[in-house]
Amino acid sequence: MVDRSAFDKIIAAGGYTSVRTGQAQDANNILISKPDADEAMDCATCIGCGACVAACKNGSAMLFVSSKVSQLALLPQGKPEAARRAKAMVMKMEELGFGNCTNTRACEAECPKNESIANIARLNREFIKRSLPIKNTSLRLFVRRGCLQ
């Protein structure tokens, strides 16, 4: 039996939206582009199996965390808290002893749900937004536009 309770702790650290969104809306009430909706849905297919961690030589949970962060960051309900969420979940991941990502892509190769390491790039961008008090407008735009990976 595999103990995946560490994943539950990471989700509890920030893998949610902290505002009440009310009852389920009619699908047409909130405009979400088809590409964003599709990508968010792809990210949401992560089942928390832990295969990515097992495959990683560093024991990193970045693919799992980044999929959960991306799932919410891509949607209007989750976007406002994306940076705060990314930092909280990464800090919890580190506290629990998971390793760092060194881009070997072993996680991506093993993931049964085809989660992409593009999610890790998105997680890194959100983490940087929260971590650096970027006052330089040009640099802020650079990060927002996803030029930093």
Residues 6+ apart with CB under 8 A from 71: 40, 43, 44, 46, 78
Smaller CB separation from ligand SF4, 41 or 141? 41
Amino acid at 15: G
Smaller CB separation from ligand SF4, 115 or 126? 115
Alpha-carbon distance values, 136 to 68, 131, 132 (Å): 29, 14, 11
Query: In angstroms, what is the minimal distance from the CB of 66 to ligand SF4?
Result: 8
Amino acid at 146: G
Smaller CB separation from ligand SF4, 68 or 125? 68
- The footprint of ligand SF4 on residues 46-65 (CB under 6 A) is 46-52, 63-64
Alpha-carbon distance values, 58 to 47, 90, 97, 118, 147 (Å): 21, 15, 10, 18, 26
For the chain, first and last CA: distance in Å? Answer: 36
Q: Of 60, 67, 70, 71, which one interacts with ligand SF4 (CB under 6 A)? A: 67
CB 142 within 8 A of CB 148: yes
User: Mask: binding to ligand SF4, 29-48, rule CB under 6 A, as x and -?
Assistant: -----------------xxx
Query: In angstroms, what is the minimal distance from the CB of 2 to ligand SF4?
Result: 11
Query: In angstroms, what is the minimal distance from the CB of 8 to ligand SF4?
Result: 12
Among the residue ranges 13-21, 90-98, 106-114, 123-131, the one whose residues contact ligand SF4 (CB under 6 A): 106-114
Which residues of this protein are in contact with ligand SF4, per CB under 6 A?
Answer: 46-52, 63-64, 67, 111-113, 115
